[in-house]
Amino acid sequence: MKIKTSIMYVKENEATVNRPAGKRPLDASNILADLNHYIKAIKAEDAWKNSDRNSITIFKSSGLTIVLSGLHQSAVIDDYGRGGVTVLQVLTGKVSFTSDGEEQEAGQGQVIITHRDGNYFVKALEDTFLLLTLKDA
């Protein structure tokens, strides 16, 4: 849904079964995202309790997406090169990151920046929350 403001259109998400009251802006002139609030919301949802992960899109515009992703220990993100850049900021927990045959570990307060020309593989070494910023090529 788009709502016109004096500055630009505001794009909002649509409510879903998992987030029936989940209407929130995804693109606007300014968005304040309360990550602690979103982490609590993710942990309260059935998807977090019943699977190895849960995520929420915080911002989405043409060319840029920001996602808060919670991963239980051993959950995996396997990305196939689509071009662009990904920034993985570890908010809590610890991950193993593999790209181009090189493996690194990153923990709370660390950031991994990778060009998405090749594949990369992220594995949660413990329950982890990541802020993923994806910029298209």
Q: Which domains does the chain have, with CATH numbers?
A: 50-135 (2.60.120.10)
Residue with tokens 């929420």: 56
Residue-level pLDDT, tens digit, the chain, 137 residues: 444 444 455 555 555 555 445 566 788 888 889 999 999 999 999 999 999 999 999 998 888 999 999 999 999 999 866 788 999 999 999 999 998 889 999 999 999 998 877 788 999 999 999 999 999 87
Return the pLDDT at 100. Answer: 83
From the number of C-beta atoms within 10 Å of its C-beta (0-12, 13-18, 19+), residue 53 rates as middle
Residue 6 identity (one-letter amino acid): S
